[in-house]
Chains A and B, each alone.
Chain A
Amino acid sequence: DGGITQSPKYLFRKEGQNVTLSCEQNLNHDAMYWYRQDPGQGLRLIYYSQIVNDFQKGDIAEGYSVSREKKESFPLTVTSAQKNPTAFYLCATKRTGKNQPQHFGDGTRLSIL
């Protein structure tokens, strides 16, 4: 099946610990995105990547890092510098084209222990 796989579905982090959220796609889309969703709020852009080995900061990049070594993969690391990491994280992809919609994974819910 074509799609976007985010793992794990639930993740718990201890204070001072870095954690990495996985996002893999087999849609052959060039662009990939990470969003953060807090209760009652819309999606806020953390990082995005238009091509392999290139990525840009979004609106709330502080405390996060990413890599794009392969077209299929765009992992997000939540570092200890992110003081309020509890949220729902969504990965998305987009086909080349200005009016193309984004396609989303099922999300990862991160909580602090």
Chain B
Amino acid sequence: AQKVTQAQTEISVVEKEDVTLDCVYETRDTTYYLFWYKQPPSGELVFLIRRNSFDEQNEISGRYSWNFQKSTSSFNFTITASQVVDSAVYFCALSDTGGFKTIFGAGTRLFVKA
């Protein structure tokens, strides 16, 4: 069975601090897909990044970076120099080989204080 664990329920930081959101997954598939989504207070989930299981290259996009390590089944998300607008709930998600069903973690609520 597939599973996504986001052990951090809530994180609170002060603006300009760096913060890392952890994501650990379980799957028996050899091919799978990982995603991060952001859910601001408005409620709509916004896609941030995807990673295929065969591509372990880390990625940086502005203040966001992602560290994918198959050896530890982790796909962590780091926000550098956090801003108040980063306050949201962040979800890590895993899709199976077929790509149709996606399992979501419980989410991490990030509070960035000015």
Cβ-neighbour of B47 out of A43, A101, A105 (below 8 A): A101
Are A40 and B44 in contact, with the CB atoms below 8 A? no
Total number of B residues with any Cβ neighbor in A under 8 Å = 26
Which residues on the B side are within 8 Å of A101 (C-beta)? Answer: 35, 37, 47, 50
- Give, as a whole number of angstroms, the nearest-CB distance from A47 to chain B: 11
Provide the bound-state CA to CA distance between A94 and B43, in Å: 18
Which residues on the B side are within 8 Å of A58 (C-beta)? Answer: 101
Are B106 and A103 in contact, with the CB atoms below 8 A? no
Are B107 and A42 in contact, with the CB atoms below 8 A? yes
Residue A48 lies at the interface, judged by CB distance under 8 Å to chain B? yes
Q: Which residue of A lies closest to B48 (CB)?
A: A101
Interface string of B30-61 (1 = CB under 8 A from A): 00010101000011111100101000000000
Are A97 and B44 in contact, with the CB atoms below 8 A? no
Cβ-neighbour of B99 out of A88, A97, A104 (below 8 A): A97
Which residues on the A side are within 8 Å of B91 (C-beta)? Answer: 42-43
Residue B87 lies at the interface, judged by CB distance under 8 Å to chain A? no
Can you sample 27 A-B contacts with CB below 8 Å? A40-B9, A41-B107, A42-B6, A42-B104, A42-B106, A42-B107, A43-B45, A43-B104, A44-B104, A45-B102, A48-B100, A48-B101, A90-B44, A90-B45, A94-B100, A98-B33, A98-B95, A98-B97, A99-B50, A99-B95, A101-B35, A102-B45, A102-B102, A103-B47, A106-B42, A106-B44, A107-B43
